[in-house]
A = this chain, B = another copy of it.
């Protein structure tokens, strides 16, 4: 959060209090199942996670991926039954806290609550980008923009990451995120590779021609170009 606004010491302390407890998760373990009652929220400290829904016919749609610093489960606390399942994609550490912790934050640090609102909006815009991708772009573009998004989010968490990164997803998971079958994801990856935009070796992907890939994918990075100067000053 401190990347976007200057936090006061009070605010830093309040945020630290939310991260007092820790829980570790193995790849594949479910943090919250759809239709659980969700009274807890989480901050993801380490690792990658995803949220998905399972439709009536068993098909899975991955809704979003989460990276360190993200707040998890905010949507679940609005409903008696969680609408989504949250699941670990790698070894993860999360910090659970109660709904009431958020409620207190609203009263004692309204500016932080506003920042959470802002992050919700950023996520919402990222969702609209994906919506447009699913509705109106080709399979190749969807796979391409997913690769770019993953790379950028991983890089935001770890400045060391350049054009090459460990994918950490199966092709079936890529398919469930992009609305494609695993088989077709495989073909699209091969095609992107044949066209020189990416390279693959073992679980790693290298982006070889970012400009061409960005153009072919209609990709927009929504974590750039933020303007938060209108928020109240810190106290």
Contacts and interface: CB of A to CB of B under 8 A. Distances in A.
A116 interface: yes
B114 A120 contact: no
A226 B81 CA distance: 9
Interface in A59-104: 59-61, 63-64, 74-75, 77-81, 83-84, 99-100, 102-103
B131 A80 contact: no
B63 A132 contact: yes
Contacts of A59: 136
Interface residues of A, number: 59
A8 to B, nearest CB: 14
Question: Which 3 pairs show the lowest CB-CB distances between chains A and B?
Answer: A135-B179, A61-B132, A110-B110
Interface of A: 51, 53, 55-56, 59-61, 63-64, 74-75, 77-81, 83-84, 99-100, 102-103, 106-107, 110-111, 113-114, 116-118, 120-125, 127-128, 130-132, 134-137, 176, 178-179, 218, 220, 222, 225-228, 230-232
26 contacts: A55-B132, A59-B136, A61-B135, A61-B136, A63-B128, A63-B132, A64-B128, A75-B121, A75-B124, A78-B122, A79-B226, A80-B225, A100-B230, A103-B232, A106-B111, A106-B113, A106-B232, A107-B110, A107-B232, A116-B117, A120-B121, A124-B124, A124-B127, A127-B131, A134-B135, A135-B178
